[in-house]
Structure 1
Amino acid sequence: LGIDHTAIVVSSTQNSLKFYRDLLGLKLAGESLNQGTEQEHLNNVAGARLRISGLRAQNGPGIEFLEYLTPRDGRPAPKDTRANDLWHWQTTLSATSVEAAARKLNGGRARMISAGVAAIADKHFAFTKGFLARDPDGHGLQFIEK
């Protein structure tokens, strides 16, 4: 078993591209429009019609946007979501400098979860520094530096 990618529902592909591609530097790898019986059965959403956009980094699994064109009645993440809520989910992104990533996000449309960049002294962790933030739709992102 392996991990191919992570998929997130977005309210606007264009707004998400501005964040993930233009701000963070991921590359748009492909796009498609999915609809029909198979898509309805896969997602268990009647009338599902989705714009799907795949993004890739230099290495590792990609991020796939699922923008529901129909139906458009999906619920947004609660504004008071916290990192210890059972529905909290985060995608981990590796950066050469988490301080630079935090500065970039502070100037963009991200909401910081962490108070700042945390230094990890415990050598058992797979990284030495990190922080949590949210994208414009509220998805959790963990930025790490090895």
Structure 2
Amino acid sequence: MTPPLVSSGPHIEAVAITCASAERSAAFFCASLGFIRLAEERVEGGPQAALFGLPQGRLQRVQLGLGEERLDLIEVLDPGPGQRPGRPLPPDSRSCDLWFQHLCLVTADLAASHARLQPLLAAGAITAVSAAPQRLPEWNTAAAGIWAFKFRDPDGHNLELLQFPDGKGDPRWHRPRPAAGDELLGIDHSAIAIADTARSRSFYSNLLGLKALPSGENCGLEQDRLDGLSEVRVQITPLRCAAGMGIETLGYLPPNQGRPRLMDQAPQDLAHWQIRLAASGLDRIAASAAAFGGRVLPPGLMALEAGAGGSRRALRLADPDGHELLLVEAAGVSAP
């Protein structure tokens, strides 16, 4: 795994997803998508479980890496007293539903990456969202020439394979790579479905300090085939960190405005994701979150154990549509 880039601003340390079986998911991501296994741990309640939203829960965490990015697979062994069992993802979930989130995996050869998935797709172990790999059209200047394919992992989590043409995307995706190197390069972003583009842009840029790039609108036959929907019009806003992966908001327009997330969605549910964002100014963020449409989640501002990678405090936070972040205050991260 490539060492993480040093950043002077907010940056994403990891993305966590709740899995039915951390070991099964790890086997899939490593064998089929080129991730490497970094570490594993058992969490028996306490501060780490509380920061995941289950203070008395028993968790199994497997940490994976791809390029400079980290993916945490969380299996909830026991959510704790008084907590209901976890639920699967709704089988009729769509890209426009407001619980939707995906990881965009960058590949140097989408055809090869797609071919690697074919046995699993044929066996029904994973499911396709896209009709086939799609090349975005020339009229769409910002995205012209990008190849993409969307699918779901064994638990139903949404993933996207994406190949950038020359001149598009982060320059790191175009670095020379070893001839025998894997074609999967890293994670470009995590995309989230949102209800209001302006509101989400303000939350992530003005409150959290990510850099909002100009929004664009994708539509047409290629986007329909990519998303598995009809008459798609989606406003896409990239939100970049100083280095590494970013966040992308997806504001679907009629007729594909999606359903809101269930009010009782919980960390033990397979629809649960958590973005771990290193940032500073946590007191300001906690005090201002509601004004930007966000919500501070229990346990609020919480001190971390001394020596935990230079981290000092953490804050669990929901964005205006309920997508969850864990903000970690780290030394050397400038205030947004």
Matched residue SS, 2:268? coil
Deviates more, 1:109-118 or 1:136-145: 109-118
Which of 87, 91, 99 is the equivalent residue of 2:283?
Answer: 99
Q: Distance in 2 between matches of 1:125 and 1:35?
A: 43
2:278 is the counterpart of 1:77? no
Distance 1:121 1:30, change over 3 A: same
Asked whether the equivalents of residues 95 and 101 of structure 1 are also in contact (C-alpha less than 8 Å), the reply is no
Look at both structures and tell me which one has the larger radius of gyration over its CA atoms. 2
2:322 is the counterpart of 1:138? yes
Residues 15-34 of structure 1 aligned to structure 2 (within 5 Å): 15-34=199-218
Tell me which amino acid in the other structure corresponds to 1:134.
A
Matched residue SS, 1:143? strand
Deviates more, 1:118-127 or 1:101-110: 118-127
Q: Distance in 2 between matches of 1:90 and 1:143?
A: 10
Deviates more, 1:100-109 or 1:113-122: 100-109
Residues 27-42 of structure 1 aligned to structure 2 (within 5 Å): 27-42=211-226
User: Deviations 1:36-63 (Å, cap 9, x if unpaired)?
Assistant: 1211111111111111111112233121
Counterpart in the other structure of 1:53: 237
Distance 1:48 1:111, change over 3 A: same
**Deviation of residue 124 (structure 1)?**
5.5
Q: Which runs of 4+ in 1 moved over 3 A?
A: 122-128
Deviates more, 1:8-17 or 1:52-61: 52-61
Asked whether the equivalents of residues 194 and 321 of structure 2 are also in contact (C-alpha less than 8 Å), the reply is yes
User: Deviations 1:51-104 (Å, cap 9, x if unpaired)?
Assistant: 111111223312111111132341111112223322111222211243332223
Q: Gaps spanning 5+ residues in structure 1: where?
A: none
Tell me which amino acid in the other structure corresponds to 2:315.
F
2:223 is the counterpart of 1:44? no
Deviates more, 1:18-27 or 1:39-48: 18-27
2:252 is the counterpart of 1:63? no
Residues 116-135 of structure 1 aligned to structure 2 (within 5 Å): 116-121=300-305, 123=307, 127-135=311-319
Asked whether the equivalents of residues 34 and 52 of structure 1 are also in contact (C-alpha less than 8 Å), the reply is yes
2:189 is the counterpart of 1:5? yes
* TM-score normalised by the chain length of structure 2: 0.40
* TM-score normalised by the chain length of structure 1: 0.86
Asked whether the equivalents of residues 292 and 320 of structure 2 are also in contact (C-alpha less than 8 Å), the reply is no
CA RMSD of aligned residues (A): 2.1
Q: Distance in 2 between matches of 1:124 and 1:15?
A: 33
Distance 1:30 1:98, change over 3 A: same
**Deviation of residue 125 (structure 1)?**
6.2
Tell me which amino acid in the other structure corresponds to 1:70.
P
Q: Gaps spanning 5+ residues in structure 2: where?
A: 1-184, 331-336
Q: Distance in 2 between matches of 1:77 and 1:25?
A: 25
Q: Distance in 1 between matches of 2:267 and 2:306?
A: 21
Counterpart in the other structure of 2:198: 14
Distance 1:64 1:104, change over 3 A: same
Q: Distance in 1 between matches of 2:294 and 2:215?
A: 24
